[in-house]
């Protein structure tokens, strides 16, 4: 049985995602902080994207960089990157999303250990309502958002 994922918009620039996992927090934390594990779930098959590389230096001030094959332009790549602002093993992970310049959201993952299960809360805070509107494009099925970027680059 799969656990439910809830997504709630808390304000014009905040979204909260919650989910329970059937494992203690140390295991869930491990899956968020080891690149060889992260690359197995961060890009779901249904997204149609191919992850080329996944570098993560998980410590406060360290950076991460995910490189994807461009879904529409052969030979081109796309990158998502940012910095870890806080790394508190098994309880909290905070990172920036810098691929959109100053408009990227700050992501805060909180893990609440409940013994055999872990409740996670992922809070994404955008610098403004407008940045949020721009950012949510990346969730409109990712290929579409890349198409938008194509237009931007072509313009």
Partner 1 sequence: MVHLSKTEQLDAAFAALSDATRRGVLERLGRADASITDLAERFDMTLTGMKKHVGVLEDAGLVATAKVGRVRTCKLGPRRLDEVTAWIDRYRQLWSARFDELDQVIEELKLKEKERAPR
Instruction: Note the residues at the interface with partner 1 (CB under 8 A).
Output: 2-3, 5-7, 9, 11-12, 15, 17, 19, 21-23, 27-28, 30-31, 37, 40-42, 44-47, 129-130, 133-134, 136, 139-142
Nearest distance from C-beta of residue 124 to partner 1, angstroms: 9
Nearest distance from C-beta of residue 142 to partner 1, angstroms: 8
What single string gives the DSSP state of each residue in 88-150? ETTTEEEEE--TTGGGPPEEEEEEEE-SS-EEEEEEEE-SSHHHHHHHGGGGS-HHHHHHHHH
In the bound state with partner 1, the residue whose beta carbon lies nearer, of 6 and 60, is 6
Pairing of strands 63-69, 77-88: antiparallel
In the bound state with partner 1, the residue whose beta carbon lies nearer, of 37 and 94, is 37
What single string gives the DSSP state of each residue in 42-74? SS-GGGT--EEEEEE--STT-EEEEEEE-SSST
Q: What is the DSSP letter of 31?
A: H
In the bound state with partner 1, the residue whose beta carbon lies nearer, of 11 and 72, is 11
Nearest distance from C-beta of residue 20 to partner 1, angstroms: 10
Nearest distance from C-beta of residue 144 to partner 1, angstroms: 10
In the bound state with partner 1, the residue whose beta carbon lies nearer, of 39 and 83, is 39
């Amino acid at each position: 049985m799969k656990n439910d994922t809830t997504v709630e918009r808390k304000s014009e620039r905040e979204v909260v995602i919650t989910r329970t996992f059937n494992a203690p927090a140390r295991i869930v934390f491990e899956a968020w902080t080891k690149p060889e594990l992260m690359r197995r779930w961060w890009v779901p098959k249904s997204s149609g994207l191919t992850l080329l590389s996944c570098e993560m230096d998980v410590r406060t001030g360290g950076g991460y960089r995910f490189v994807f094959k461009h879904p529409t332009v052969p030979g081109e790549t796309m990158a998502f990157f940012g910095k870890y602002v806080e790394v508190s093993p098994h309880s909290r992970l905070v990172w920036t999303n810098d691929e959109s310049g100053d408009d990227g959201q700050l992501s805060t993952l909180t893990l609440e250990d409940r013994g055999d299960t872990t409740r996670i809360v992922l809070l994404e805070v955008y610098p403004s309502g407008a940045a949020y509107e721009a950012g949510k494009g990346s969730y409109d099925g990712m290929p579409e958002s890349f198409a938008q970027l194509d237009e931007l680059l072509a313009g």
